[in-house]
């Protein structure tokens, strides 16, 4: 089986033809379209992280979920300095 690559990463579940179509599609997109796609994927990944935090900590308030997410994004040391009142929270 030939592995398709996109940006140097091998995709074992994607054919070379499909990978080439995806590359052509990405190349045809404007910078704004690419930025919008990245922003949407970023927000979707953050929402998945929020769901995981809520699953692990059902008692967290919406604010606490956001601060736990910040802790995941920036790390414990910076989160503790930036939001000392929420240092007890764990993602």
What is the per-residue pLDDT across 42-63, written as a single tens digit (0 to 9) for each?
A: 999 999 999 999 999 999 999 9
C-alpha gyration radius of the chain: 19
User: Residue 75 pLDDT > 90, yes or no?
Assistant: yes
In this structure, are residues 68 and 57 in contact, taking their beta carbons and an 8 Å threshold?
yes
pTM of the model: 0.72
* CA distances (Å), origin 18, targets 6, 24, 28: 10, 10, 15
């Amino acid at each position: 089986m030939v592995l398709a690559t996109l940006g140097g990463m091998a995709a074992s579940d994607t054919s070379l033809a499909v990978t080439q179509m995806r590359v052509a599609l990405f190349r045809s997109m404007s910078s704004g379209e690419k930025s919008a796609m990245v922003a949407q994927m970023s927000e979707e990944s953050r929402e998945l992280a929020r769901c995981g935090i809520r699953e692990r900590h059902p008692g967290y308030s919406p604010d606490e979920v956001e601060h736990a997410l910040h802790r995941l994004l920036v790390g414990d040391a910076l989160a503790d300095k930036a939001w000392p009142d929420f240092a007890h929270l764990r993602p």
